[in-house]
Structure 1
Amino acid sequence: MSRAAVLAGLGAMVPERAVDNEEISRIVDTDDEWIRTRTGIGRRYWADPGTATGDLAAVAGRRALESAGVDTVDQVILATSTPNRPMPATAPEVASALGLDGVPGFDLSAACAGFVYGLQSAAGAIAAGFAERVLVIGADIWSTRLDPEDRATAIIFGDGAGAAVLRAGDAAEPGALLGFDLGSDGANRDLAFLPAGGSRQRSERAPLRDADNYLAMRGKEIFTHAVERMAGSSEALLDSVGWTAADVDRFVGHQANVRILHTVADVMTVPRERVVVHLDKVGNTSAASIPLALTDAAVEGRLTPGQKVLLTSFGGGLSWGSTALSWPDIKVSGIETA
């Protein structure tokens, strides 16, 4: 059998502070009905002052290690667009918090597609024999980077972290990641971006506006690209692993907008009842959204051993990616708040 990366454990967490649509409506000119109709979101969680992305990542990582029944790994990969600081990377700090001293750790930035990119990087290390076990974490705190007066972003994003432990196994066993389809489009980098803080903005030496410190997003164009890229990537991935849309028992897409999820499923002819929706509870948690959705679905019994599961993601960059697996029999605990 060929060596492959196998899902062995999951862990997830969100901050303690829940922010419902009624509270958002007191900040932004909107209401609960408008938010639910346009996005499907009813609630999101925002981190308290003093909490950083690495703090959430460490909790989710610890939960994933417990789920897998292990206390060490050979690599730590943190997918995030909101690291603790621009330099150094946050992953080594997370590894240290988990007692994984000396274990190589690095950050990976692919926006909302970061978790799938992280899975591919981990799978490559395992397939090549460089690692036996890898901890992949997706974590973001966007609440500190949102303009409270920008309805396009303020109502959508929540904070959270989700993690997975991958172990070496063979491609025929449940939980094996069967393949990947990844892509990017830098020509559309300005559809979702954070202007301030990078070398581009600093080298231009232009006066820094308050708005440059906040996430900017062109929602209608993002919607169109997200549907096209997620559907295309998913179809390419299914073709490469020998599945059809009819074979997919659960479709787990990046949790940005319920209309995007349903439209992608419709394009692919995957019945909507097979689509896992979790954003109604936590909003768009960026790189954390897929592991959070997987954890919630597993705990609620919507994911059961043997089901064919398709994961697909899309984010700024533009970046996108998909993978697939047969769901394994693993122990998963509920999403922790802290």
Structure 2
Amino acid sequence: DHIADFLNKPAKAVKKLMKNVGIESRNWTEEEYATSDLAVEAVNRALRMANIRPEEVKAIWCGTMTEDYPGVPIAPSVKERVGTPRMGVYFDISTACVGFLSSLYIAYNDIVSPYGQGGPQVVVGSDTLSKFLSPNKRETFMVFGDAAGAVVIDTISDKNSLSAKIAFQFGADGSHVEDLYIPAGGSRIPTSEETIRNNQHCIWMNGKMVKKYAQNDMRECIMRAAAKADVTFGDIMWLFPHQANLEIIDGLAKDIGFPRERVYKNIKHKGNTSSASIPLALRDAYHEGKLLPDELIISCSFGAGSEFGAAVLPTVGVPRRTTAERIRDLIPH
């Protein structure tokens, strides 16, 4: 009810919308925290989990749409605070909610290329969307959260040759630019007193249109990625969709015929965290004992632009959890 009061909207209408999108709560940072702060924490945790020292890292790819400062990449700042070598690849990838999958695609290709950096490399998705929301835009104000998630990738022993099944599929449709965007602050509509008065520096969304094309585009990417990998859904343990909207997630699973019990969801208490959505889901699934080594998963996402993509990925190298870790994760926090 406090959200309804804040939005100056009827509590019944707010609860109905929240139920439809599947969100009960989401996390926002304190005002003093920026996107790079979350990214640094995620990268450090991933390196510890992988038992990799910062000085070993060859590249950090940051998927984000909410830089600390407009036009300035966060990757150098992340590199500096994590303590990785000065000479390396430190790039931001700006494909909105698809930022993590886009960065993962680039990292995979770089590692296997004779012209690449080699491994290990880090891919992080980090966004603080709460700083770009307005209570006047309830369709976005109640949905988006702040988060970061990171993974370490490298070439390692693969006894089941699952890496041969890695496949990506991406696409874009520029006709939907104004269905999900921040209108002002860029070169099209520079910042002015008028844009500030008109609330044009927050996220605007045409929810009905986004729901329609997002589901269709992710479905096509999933089917194409699975075909590239030459796998069926019987070969895939989990589907990790972008956690944007429960109706979209459930509708997508139904459309492609993927078993609902193997569709991972954490949107209920995370909300839509943009580029952090998928790595955050992977992290939660791991600690729930659902993400295990030496399996195949498939993930998909869509976002502003519009951008969309999917990937068939092996979980080779995912650390096996000790008994102590499993017990610790059972303790309520």
Structure 2 length normalisation: TM-score? 0.88
- Counterpart CA distance in 2 for 1:196 and 1:36 is 27
Are the counterparts in 1 of residues 292 and 318 from structure 2 also a CA contact under 8 Å? no
One-letter identity of the residue aligned with 1:142: L
Give the secondary structure class of the aligned counterpart of 1:322. strand
* Alignment check: 8 A CA contact 1:262 1:272 kept: yes
- C-alpha distance in 2 between matches for 1:304 and 1:169: 16
Match of 1:126 in 2: 111
Distance 1:87 1:109 in 2: 11
Tell whether 2:10 aligns with 1:25. no
Tell me the residue number matched to 1:17.
Answer: none
Q: Deviations over 1:163-193 (max 9, x none)?
A: 0111124775456770110111112111100
1:281 CA displacement: 1.4
| Greater percentage in helix | 2
Partner of 1:104: 89
Structure 2 CA distance for aligned equivalents of residues 26 and 208 of structure 1: 26
State the match for 1:166 in structure 2.
Answer: 153
**Distance in 2 of aligned mates of 1:304 and 1:68:** 14
Superposition deviation, residue 249 in structure 1: 1.8
Indicate the residue corresponding to 1:239 in structure 2: 227
Listed as ranges, the gaps of 5+ residues in structure 1 are 1-21
2: distance between equivalents of 1:138 and 1:268? 26
5+ residue gaps in structure 2? none
Amino-acid identity (%):
32
* Secondary structure at the counterpart of residue 297 of structure 1: helix
Distance 2:219 2:91 in 1: 30
State how 1:313-324 maps to structure 2 within 5 Å: 313-324=301-312
Q: 1:41 pairs with 8, 20, 23, which one? A: 23
How many pairs align? 312
Q: Structure 2 CA distance, aligned partners of 1:252 and 1:195? A: 30
CA distance in 2, matches of 1:327, 1:165: 12
Compute the displacement of 1:160 (Å). 0.3
Return the letter of the residue paired with 1:81: M
Judge conservation of contact 2:165–2:229 (CA < 8 Å) in 1: no
Offset of residue 116 of structure 1: 0.3
TM-score (norm 1): 0.87
- Tell me by how many angstroms 1:299 deviates: 0.7
Letter in structure 1 aligned against 2:64: T
The residue number in structure 1 matching 2:44 is 62
Superposed, which structure 2 residues align to 1:1-338 within 5 Å?
22-28=1-7, 29=9, 30=11, 33-71=15-53, 72-102=56-86, 103-129=88-114, 130-131=116-117, 132-169=119-156, 173-174=161-162, 178-202=166-190, 207-210=194-197, 211-331=199-319
Report the alpha carbon displacement of residue 305 of structure 1 after superposing the two structures with TM. 2.6
How far 1:153 sits from its partner (Å)?
A: 0.4
Shift of 1:23: 4.0
Relative contact order: is structure 1 or structure 2 higher (C-alpha 8 Å, sep ≥ 6)?
Answer: 1
The 1:176/1:41 distance shift into structure 2, 3 A limit, reads farther
The aligned amino acid for 1:74 is K
- Alpha-carbon distance change, 79 to 177 in structure 1, aligned in 2, over 3 angstroms: farther
Quickly say closer, same or farther: Cα 1:61–1:190, change in 2 above 3 A: same
CA deviation profile, 1:7-59 (whole Å, cap 9, x unmatched)? xxxxxxxxxxxxxxx44233222457424421111110001011000000000
Q: Is the 8 A contact 1:195 1:201 kept in 2?
A: yes
For the residue of structure 1 that corresponds to 2:155, the secondary structure is strand
> Corresponding residue for 1:18?
none
**Any conservation in 1 of the 2:156–2:317 contact (CA below 8 Å)?**
no
CA RMSD, Structure 1 to Structure 2 (Å): 2.1
The code of the aligned residue for 1:325 comes to L
Alignment partners' CA distance in 1, 2:164 and 2:70: 34
| CA distance, structure 1, for counterparts of residue 83 and residue 209 of structure 2 | 43
